[in-house]
Amino acid sequence: MENIAALYLAHLNPVTNAHEKIISQLAEHYHVYVFPVVFLKEGREINTRTFPFPYELRRKMLLSLFDGHDNIDILPNYNFVSPFIKYLPPILSPYSWSMRGEILRDVLEDRFISYTGDTAERIALRFYNLHPIKAKRLKISSSNVKELLYREALENLGKDEFNKNLKNGFDHSDRYNNRNYYKGEDIEDALKESWQKMVPKTIINIICENWDIVEKFAQSVDKTIKIFGMKFPTEGILN
């Protein structure tokens, strides 16, 4: 049987149950190359509220699931280097075609397909001759997970501030008189269970170990822009 590669280009920020399912299913039939996208400026990775987890951490997430799988490789070749405007418009820009060459550089197989659940992305991949296969978008997205992560982080930060105020002599009586006192904690627990159900157990541990990243971006403005359907950090767009 002829070996065929499957290219999976994605944000993976963070890795979810859906990502694990996609990669595992592809690996049943193909040699899978996973390419987490990276945005670089002067050799430094740019992260934003939309792209909080750096490449090495996302690679760690993927290795926690697939390390030891001979037919799954995680590669750092999917890089946008500032100024990002040079990659636009997609397909017409020679830099976008150069990036295609970088993506394929370490693919060993002569034949390959690519995967995406997004219709617009599928059209773009077809123009780049990356042979996308038709696939349905799975329900759980990284955006869903990030929203819940940030909500939990903000609630925890608010609770910490509340506890600090109590220690500084604030009135404790509402704890006993206000029937809604525990409602915030109930919501927090529900949110925590929700995002944890959306990611594999090993990823839960990695996210919790790097919770400072979640807290940092939960409190920040999202410095991301969408152009021609593609998301880029605003830092590095023009220079």
The mean per-residue pLDDT over the stretch 55-76 comes to 97
Angle between helices 211-218 and 142-167 (to 10 degrees): 90
To 10 degrees, the CA torsion angle through 123, 19, 69, 124? 10
Q: In what order do the strands lie in the sheet with 79-81?
A: 44-45, 38-41, 79-81
State residue 159's pLDDT score.
65
CB atoms within 10 A of CB 71: 16
Instruction: Give 199-223 pLDDT, tens digit per residue.
Output: 999 999 999 999 999 999 999 999 9
DSSP letter assigned to residue 16: -
Q: What is the pLDDT of residue 37?
A: 96
Higher local confidence (pLDDT), 187 or 38: 38
Q: For the whole model, what pTM was predicted?
A: 0.85
Residues 6+ apart with CB under 8 A from 209: none
Chain segment 167-187, per-residue pLDDT in tens: 443 333 333 333 333 344 444
Residue 119 has pLDDT above 90, yes or no: no
**Amino acid letter for position 120:** A
Asked if pLDDT for residue 2 goes beyond 80, the answer is no
Domain boundaries, the chain: 4-133, 142-219
Q: In terms of pLDDT, which residue wins out, 229 or 145? A: 145
146-165 pLDDT tens trace = 999 999 999 999 866 545 44
- What is the CATH architecture assignment of 4-133? 3-Layer(aba) Sandwich (3.40)
Q: Can you give the pLDDT at residue 136?
A: 75
The pLDDT assigned to 171 comes to 36
What's the pLDDT at 165? Answer: 42
pLDDT of residue 160: 63
